Structure 1
Amino acid sequence: MLPAAASMEKEGSISNSGRWAQWRYMAAEPPGEAKSDLWILDQFHKRIKKLYQKEGGAFPAPIVKLNWDYGEGHEPDVHRVAKEINGYFTEDKTIKDKDKVLEFTAGSQVPAFPMLQDDGSTACGCWIYSGSYTKDGNMMARRDNTDLPNGLGMYPKWAWSWPVNRRIIYNRASVNKAGQPFNPKRVVIAWDAEEKKWKGDVPDGGAPPVDDEKGAYPFIMFAEGVGRLYALTMKDGPFPEHYEPMESPAKNLLSSVQTNPCVRAGKEIISCDIVKYPYIGTTYRVTEHWQAGAMTRSLPWLVELVPDMFVEMSKTLAKEKGIKNGDRVRVSTERGSIEAYALVTSRLKPFIVEGKAVEQVGMPWHFGYAGMATGDSANVLTAGVLSPVSNIPEFKAFLCNIEKGGKRS
């Protein structure tokens, strides 16, 4: 493991779920020997290339001839990387665009993905980001908070949204066949019949409204051009269905099929023995830690806030098991067991399942054996059953038992 800089300790871009790519600057120098991940990758390539140049090897061309030009300084030039992701012309190029003829010189930035060519005259790291770093500069670094007249919070001059700075994808679905908004009070895009162009957000596809002889349906990434009620590639069927978790104390009341028949369970050990494992277990995160805790459990001020692995339970369950807040407890499933401190709260309460009270316990997934703060991993307990669509494990629901005490009590 190499010491890598945190996000605040390096310059670069970050993209959010709204598709906004925003540029941020280094707020502090990385501590000790920590380096940016870009520096680490850059050094890997440069040193491997030198070895190939010196010693040769099987098929060295992909290494020694790779276009890798991010500067010779101590830190690679992150702006060169961003420009390469945007795309650039590798040679002088003339492109006919509708009624215009555009001239580009070798080395100039591609203005948008429609200008990318299939003849080798352009190179682009990721087509959806083409337009993010143009001849006008770094679009991701823009900070103009002027909104469009619609006042919908689209802010087209703040940062940059992929693709082509379009803030709402499939935005032509918000208008009727004549190109006029279904909701005049919330105008995302509208067709100007006199000027024969769209106004508002960047149109998703430049075609005129559907009523026009040259019009096109709005969902340009679908062959049929219209929206879909279901996805075509769902391996467990096109329509939503409720299945119980692989380990559940309840019968599926909505379907005759108890669990998803398409899950990838492999040789995972599953038990629905509610006598042996009478409680529902779940996992979650806390504000103070991140994922498995590799970063946050090494930061003293975060460790001070949440220093230990715990299992949260209701007051009724704690009373039933003779457990007090802060006691050491052992949680077990058919797959293994862990120890943790009891956290007795009013937040968790028993469910009523088929007329019976069923208790639930919860654990954070942030702990492990390394770092400043250590603790047993909650995923020792969970079932490695994978969704047939996303391959996400079923770590949120399982059956378990809990007992007071443990080897480290």
Structure 2
Amino acid sequence: MARAFNTSLLKAYFGDAATKDNDFGYHWLPRIDGKHGTYQTMMNMADGLVEGYLVFGQNPAVSSINGKLHRKAFRTAKWMVVRDKEMIETANFWRNSPEHETGEVTAEDIGTEVFYLPAAAHVEKAGSFTQTQRMVQFREKAVEPPGDAQSELDFFFQLGQRLRERLAGSTDPRDRALLNMTWDYASAADPLRADPEAVLGEINGYYLTGERAGQPLDKFVDMKDDGSTSGGCWIYAGVYAGGVNHAAKRTPAKSPTDPAPDWGWIWPANRRVLYNRASADPQGRPWSERKKYVWWDEAAGQWTSTGDVVDFPATLRPDFVADPAAQGAGALCGTDAFIMQDDGKAWLFAPSGVVDGPLPAHYEAQESRVANPLYNVQSSPSRGLYSRSDNLQTPPVGSDGSQVYPFTFTTYRVTEQHGAGGKSRWVPYLAELQPEQFCEVSPELAELRRLEHGGWATIITPRSAIEARVLVTERMKARTVDGRQFHQIGLPFHFANYGEGAEVTGDSANDLIGVTLEPNASIQQAKVTACDIQPGRRPRGRALTQFVAAYRERAGITAETGMDRVLVPGEPERDFDPTGVQGGPCAEDDTTAEKPQGA
């Protein structure tokens, strides 16, 4: 089916321009030439390799780790487009930022041209969205957006129209992909606006030839590799079957055990529970009669269910044994419930699909202060490490200098704030509930570092230092590992000081964290970061950069030394005191001290 899925995708992209003679336009697709995730893009931008950046619904100056690296990248770009409801930090970086406060940059030094465009809120736009449990739901527009604010869909639709108009008549081969793309999403009521159901229909796919030409696909198995079907994404085939917007359905469950098949639509094929054949035993009988979900109906000669779509070949008997020489779906036995796996089995041993397979193994985080208790390799050998002067790491545990950053902190959310704060820090009611950045520490750590509940503390890493109000709480526990006590600190990551008009202030926790990425999806390692904590407010101005640099110097951190050293078998580990550093150049705890710029 892979060829059918890909051919249908190309037909959705390029329509009549995609033919068998030109491989359905495959050569118009861009080629993958390396990793281009968020952090790789930021580092490339900081190095002058990315000239422009579009930011929609994100605030990476606050939400992404190593905020200083991000702001450096923004200052290096030629242009940025930021669409948001508020003047968030990512839009305002050229005018106000931590680097402005320290004197490292001025607005006049920054050549990036920033286009700030007002965005529609979620109640001001219609369209489909997919939740993490695979459910697609369609949202109707409640009110019109104010002024020039518009939805992402309308913005991209009009941008595409303008680009195609500018390139009309071009003979440059690189422009063919854009000119050949289908772009027929205009609303019947307003040709300048896109119809979100037209987009959903294209994603679903259509029959292009035969008696049903022009009708939406019913299911993904109808996709063909001969150009007779289109489909923007095979897993969504069926969401618009029969010309009905199934994502807009709102029929609730009839009972606690009803899978509610007519509430929204779930990919693929509206299957509410994936691999639901596994709810029956090898003979096809429900494991529990009271909780039966899918079972083999011998009289009907097929699988049946309580209301869900059976995620298994409908007539494949539970006692069927496949020919060992069979391939593809024909190799499935009647007991192979996990049909998307090569062998139909659930995997603990994963021979393919993950970079760090085939078995799960425990590694400590890059900046963990605890030695790996299982073996001498401290952190995952396949993690993404980036040795850069703007991404310095603490010395590895047990090595010289690691005692300068003896503690760890983790980041998390609070109920009253959302993500990087773009939707919540501008709301007065929420500001009253969570008005400023704070850190949670255990009573033992508070005593060790002379931290007072309600007072100020400064948290320091090789990247930066921030200040936060102290919350002494039993929620944070000191851990004893191998006879030593290790302390953890808690920091919410919603806060920042440099947006315009925000009701809530506070230094950004993500400024403290260096970029280390897991190997499969380049997910940031943000939950364990080595640090020190001292009582009092952080220094201001250039004194802050000098303060952070002094810590790095004491730890012996440079672009070469501030990265990882993998211990080899037989190499002795050095002993160290995890509570080694006492004192520091922080100001005394003074709640009347001058507030930072932008607070």
TM-score by length of 1: 0.88
Quote the residue 2:350 is aligned against.
231
- Give per-residue Cα distances to partners, 1:307-355, cap 9 Å, x unaligned: 3222222233334333333333221113322222323333223222333
Aligned partners of 1:284, 1:269: CA distance in 2, in Å? 21
1:129, CA displacement in angstroms? 0.7
Quote the residue 2:103 is aligned against.
none
Quote the residue 1:350 is aligned against.
478
- Give per-residue Cα distances to partners, 1:266-324, cap 9 Å, x unaligned: 21422234532222211111222222223333333333432322222223333433333
Contact 1:39/1:76 (<8 A) preserved: yes
Any idea what SS the aligned residue of 2:430 has?
helix
Number of residue-to-residue matches in the alignment = 396
Contact 2:217/2:241 (<8 A) preserved: yes
- What RMSD in Å do the two structures reach over aligned CA positions? 2.5
**Which of 288, 312, 315 is equivalent to 1:183?**
288
> Where in structure 1 are there 5+ consecutive unaligned residues?
94-102
- Give per-residue Cα distances to partners, 1:179-227, cap 9 Å, x unaligned: 2223322212112222222211322232422314786433222222222
1:238, CA displacement in angstroms? 1.9
Contact 2:296/2:318 (<8 A) preserved: no
**Which of 244, 263, 278 is equivalent to 2:383?**
263
1:363, CA displacement in angstroms? 1.1
Quote the residue 1:398 is aligned against.
529
Q: Is 1:282 paired with 2:381? A: no
Aligned partners of 2:382, 2:282: CA distance in 1, in Å? 41
1:110, CA displacement in angstroms? 0.8
**Which of 499, 502, 509 is equivalent to 1:370?**
499
Matches within 5 A, 1:168-247: 168-200=273-305, 201-206=308-313, 207-212=315-320, 216=334, 217-232=336-351, 233-247=353-367
**Between 42-51 and 308-317, the greater mean CA deviation after superposition:** 308-317
Contact 1:147/1:156 (<8 A) preserved: no
Quote the residue 1:113 is aligned against.
220
Distance 1:299 1:31, change over 3 A: farther
Distance 1:30 1:289, change over 3 A: farther
Matches within 5 A, 1:297-316: 297-316=425-444
Any idea what SS the aligned residue of 2:136 has?
strand
Aligned partners of 2:354, 2:321: CA distance in 1, in Å? 35
1:79, CA displacement in angstroms? 0.9
Any idea what SS the aligned residue of 1:298 has?
coil
Contact 1:323/1:342 (<8 A) preserved: yes
1:87, CA displacement in angstroms? 0.8
Quote the residue 2:262 is aligned against.
157
- Which is helix-richer, 1 or 2? 2
What fraction of aligned residue pairs are identical, expressed as a percent? 37
Any idea what SS the aligned residue of 1:297 has?
coil
Contact 1:270/1:383 (<8 A) preserved: no
Matches within 5 A, 1:42-121: 42-53=157-168, 59-72=174-187, 73=190, 74-91=192-209, 93=210, 103-104=211-212, 106-121=213-228
1:58, CA displacement in angstroms? 5.7
Q: Is 1:127 paired with 2:234? A: yes
Aligned partners of 2:382, 2:176: CA distance in 1, in Å? 44
Distance 1:67 1:156, change over 3 A: same
Contact 2:394/2:402 (<8 A) preserved: no
Contact 1:230/1:239 (<8 A) preserved: yes
Aligned partners of 1:169, 1:309: CA distance in 2, in Å? 41
Contact 1:242/1:255 (<8 A) preserved: no
Bigger relative contact order, structure 1 or 2, given CA contacts below 8 A and separation 6+?
Answer: 2
Structure 2 counterpart of 1:397, which letter? V
Distance 1:51 1:57, change over 3 A: farther
Structure 1 counterpart of 2:454, which letter? G
Aligned partners of 2:407, 2:450: CA distance in 1, in Å? 16
Structure 1 counterpart of 2:317, which letter? P
- Which is strand-richer, 1 or 2? 1
1:77, CA displacement in angstroms? 0.8
Any idea what SS the aligned residue of 2:485 has?
strand
Contact 1:85/1:124 (<8 A) preserved: yes
Structure 1 counterpart of 2:239, which letter? S
Structure 2 counterpart of 1:323, which letter? L
Contact 1:309/1:376 (<8 A) preserved: yes
Distance 1:275 1:189, change over 3 A: same
TM-score by length of 2: 0.61
